Structure 1
């Protein structure tokens, strides 16, 4: 069954709306929250206090964490629908199928992040996201090679994501605004899908 254009484009629009809704959860945090330095996952932590999950010593208290986790799940679902919509415009072969699976891991990771908050089970919270942030590059590159429309847009976004990822890794050694970089990674990815869906729908 093919995904209709209106469903495909709307799914990407809803995915992008994450960045409109997230500030509401930041504003309702009962302790200071750093948009620049804290992970998006901190807004879904279901316990208040310090050391709520490994490697995090600062205080976290997000009173609407359950709703934030629902947002993660919905975001993952709309992302998956959006990617499957884009996949319809590719030739059916094993390379494109593999590329689609590589990209889908990000959406699967977002769903798992919502089901397993960082303070409940950090492994399942992050494993698919971490893997997806690696597989996204060959996935998008293969998409670029296969697309007749939106090829160079896909290459541009893939390279930009790679630079952002390098900066995140550099944060292991020197200070980097990791919270901002994480959001930039997702923002570029979501905008890529939204604009590509529009480009392909015009074909």
Structure 2
């Protein structure tokens, strides 16, 4: 097997491993003493290390007994994003667009890794900085990946379109979330519009690239 194909395959597998992020959220949420709300609870609440009102003085009770698993999941997600971005470069048309996409997605991975290191209640400033880097760089990266694929229209055309769609959806979701416009789906719902397209894209891209590497 050519070295290039081996690297792409390894990177694609790393991206597919991102599925653990969704699985971990479901499992960790089951340990809450109340029903975890996708509309009104943040993803980061699953990694909160104490039980009580959060933010202090607020009316939301946060209690995540399995917070260690969630914070580990954040860090694993970050590592898979970085590894995938670096190892799958040869699967995209060469040039500065590809390099920019890889850089941005790696930065997004660093951001979510920081989220796992600094839970929201231990160092909120660093936590928010990491989340902001993840949302911004990650969603822009998907658009740039789409533009990179557009340089060779016959190469993964469906992934090209999905990259543009997911990136734009996540970016608009980020703007709405930051500006406090939740459109009836709650702060938690809009946060997920900002965050989830990135992870879904990562998994889909990994599967597509794995199939492509197998066909070589």
| TM-score (ref. length: structure 1) | 0.83
Measured against aligned partners, the alpha-carbon deviations of 1:118-154 in whole angstroms (never above 9, x if no partner) come to 1110111120221332233442232222223232221
What's 2:189 paired with? 180
Q: In the TM superposition, what is the alpha-carbon distance from 1:23 to its structure 2 partner?
A: 1.2
Spell out structure 1 runs of 4+ moving beyond 6 A. Answer: none
The partner residue of 1:192 within 171, 195, 201 is: 201
Alignment of 1:161-180 (within 5 A): 161-169=170-178, 171-172=180-181, 175-180=184-189
- Unaligned ranges ≥5, structure 2: none
Q: Any conservation in 2 of the 1:71–1:114 contact (CA below 8 Å)?
A: yes
Q: Any conservation in 1 of the 2:182–2:190 contact (CA below 8 Å)?
A: no
Alignment of 1:85-96 (within 5 A): 85-96=87-98
> Is residue 38 of structure 2 the alignment partner of residue 35 of structure 1?
yes
Q: In the TM superposition, what is the alpha-carbon distance from 1:168 to its structure 2 partner?
A: 2.1
> Is residue 23 of structure 2 the alignment partner of residue 8 of structure 1?
no
- Unaligned ranges ≥5, structure 1: none
Q: In the TM superposition, what is the alpha-carbon distance from 1:5 to its structure 2 partner?
A: 4.1
> Is residue 53 of structure 2 the alignment partner of residue 44 of structure 1?
no
* RMSD, aligned α-carbons: 2.7
Distance in 1 separating the partners of 2:95 and 2:12: 24
Q: Which moved more, 1:164-173 or 1:28-37?
A: 164-173
**Number of paired residues?**
202
Distance in 1 separating the partners of 2:102 and 2:108: 11
